[in-house]
Amino acid sequence: MDLGLKGKKVILTGGSRGIGRAAPELFAQEGCDIAFFSRNAEQVAATVESLGAHGGKVVGAALDMTDHDAYRAWLASAAEELGGCDIFVPGASASGAGATGDWDACYNIDIKGTVIGCEVLEPWLEKSDAGSIVFMSSTAGVETFIVPQAYNSIKAALLTYAKQLGQALGPKGIRVNSVSPGPIAFPGGNWEAIKAAAPGLYDATEAQFALGRWGGPEEVAKTIVFLASPASSYTTGTNVVIDGGYTKRVQF
C-alpha cells in the first residue's frame, strides 16, 4: 500500500529513543522531510545522521521544551525550515524522564507541549492538503494502571482534547487522532528499569499480554505513521489502542 507520505513535512517532539525514535525512522523511510527535537544532543546528532540516510531533509535540535517560549520559537522555525507542516506528532512525555508522578512535569510536557504545538502549527497544517495530528496517549489513561498518578490522568485528558480538537479542526481539513500504547519494552526504557528494580511487577505485567509478549516501539510507530498518512484520510477523532491485548475493557 502506498501511504502517500513521500514529500510530506513531519514535525515530531521527543524523537531520539523508544517510540519517539522509531516513528521518525519510518516517516523517513516513506520519503518524508522531518523536524524533531530531544533533550540529549548526542542522541539528536545520531538520529539526524540515521534519518538523513534516507534522502529527505532532516532538522534536529537539542531543546528543553519546558521553556515554552523556546519551544514555540522552535516549532515556528522548524515549519519555516521544512517549508510547511503536514503532520504533527507531539510525542514528548514526562514519562521519558521518569516523572510519571510529577504533576507539574506531566502537565507542562504532555499537556502544554501538545496544546502549544497544535496552536503554533495550525496555520501550517491548514495550508496542507493532508493535515494530520497524532496525539500520544496511553492505556494508562483508559484503564486503571498500577497506582493513581499524574501520568495516567494527564494521558486521559489528552484523549478528550484530541476528540474535541478533531471536531474543531475537521472543517479546516486537519485530522486529529490518538494512539494509546500499552507497556512497551526497549533498551533504556522505563520497563527495563522496572525489570531491574521490581521484577515482580515486570513479570506480572508480562503475564497480562494476550499475545504473550512485550511490544516494541516499531510496532506502535507503524500505527502512528499509518494513522498520520493520507492512506487513513477518513479517520479523525479516534483513539487506537496498541497493547497486545493488555487492557481488558470492551471499547465501543
Question: How far are the Cα atoms of 107, 136, 215, 237 from residue 122, in angstroms, in the given order?
Answer: 21, 18, 32, 16
- Number of helices (H), then strands (E), in the chain: 9, 7
The active-site residue, picked from 93, 95, 128, 151, is 151
**In contact, 79 and 85? CB cutoff 8 Å:** yes
Catalytic residue among 38, 95, 138, 232: 138
Phi-psi region of 241 (alpha: psi -120 to 50; beta: other; left: phi over 0): beta
- 107 class by beta-carbon count within 10 Å (0-12 exposed, 13-18 middle, 19+ buried): middle
Centre a 10 Å sphere on the Cβ of residue 231 and count the other Cβ atoms it contains: 14
Check if 107 is active-site.
Answer: no
- The question of whether 161 is a catalytic residue gets the answer no
The three-class DSSP label of residue 8 is: coil
Question: Given its phi and psi angles, is residue 84 left (phi above 0), alpha (psi -120 to 50 degrees) or beta?
Answer: left
For residues 208 and 186, what is the distance between their CA atoms, to the nearest angstrom? 18
Which of 155, 202, 229, 232 is catalytic? The answer is 155
Tell me which residue of 137, 151, 140 sits closest to 238, measured CA to CA: 137
* Measured distance CA(86)–CA(134) in Å, rounded: 11
Cell numbers that stand for 126 in this block = 491548514
Active site residues: 137-138, 151, 155
